[in-house]
Structure 1
């Protein structure tokens, strides 16, 4: 084998780092009592602009809180962290899900069409009777495998 052919063969075997990219969108099929419903939710992946904007917003909030803590420390004042209620935590988690949710397939609620909108998603996820939806969505967006490209089958 000539050096040129050997170099060409090696070049083809070199790992392409773009294979590690996550996908921009992924669908989650909603399960109710462990059974598929056919209702799908589409979420923004880690590199999607909507996810990046949400991450930037969260980082700015965290940095602002750290700045206040540092100012209190420098000025010799005690820092008293805000008390988060259960409803605050639920609202924060709902915000994480709604911030990544791009849409859902058609669905009805009480016999009426229930189209996707961020407001409808928030209302749905804040309903304590539908807690399994919030938990399923949080688990989905928290699982890196949800946004891993599937290998093509031959």
Structure 2
């Protein structure tokens, strides 16, 4: 079967957008709520800065391990608690968060701020929120417009 030769195909149409919105779903019904979070895409400068920082930290750890081996010293991996790992994940999420629409919690309106986002994402009673956000951010497809020609 011959391959299609559509010369109208533009690879640039598949580039990730700089932003995408996640409409938060009710955790038990799956119904879409009116609460929307906006995140920076994979190619946005804030996301690139975050990825570069994480890579630099990993390279620094590898260099320290190598130096320890060269000097005949034992390398002891820094132990991290579950809470520390969760806080690191939340910090990464917040670094990619542009905003969210205001939401009420027990009658109090919460507007976006990095501090408010951290508090919400660290709240163990809202683990479903953390899970939805993580799932959304790990899929680059969420930042690509569906093709009008597909």
Q: Tell me the TM-score normalised to structure 1 length.
A: 0.86
Structure 2 contact 103–111 (Cα < 8 Å) conserved = yes
Distance between the aligned counterparts of 2:146 and 2:49, measured in 1? 26
> Within 5 Å, which residues of 2 pair with 1:16-35?
16-32=10-26, 33=28, 34-35=30-31
Match of 1:62 in 2: 58
Quick check: 1:87 aligned with 2:108? Answer: no
Match of 1:50 in 2: 46
Distance between the aligned counterparts of 2:56 and 2:113, measured in 1? 25
Match of 2:133 in 1: 137
More helix per residue: 1 or 2? 1
Q: Tell me the TM-score normalised to structure 2 length.
A: 0.88
Distance between the aligned counterparts of 1:21 and 1:138, measured in 2? 21
Please give the secondary structure, in 1, of the residue aligned with 2:42: coil
Structure 2: gaps spanning 5 or more residues: none
Distance between the aligned counterparts of 2:67 and 2:9, measured in 1? 48
Q: CA deviation at 1:146?
A: 0.7
Structure 1: gaps spanning 5 or more residues: 1-9
Q: Comparing both chains, which one has the higher relative contact order based on Cα–Cα distances under 8 Å and sequence gaps of 6 or more?
A: 2
- Name which one, 1 or 2, has greater alpha-carbon Rg: 1
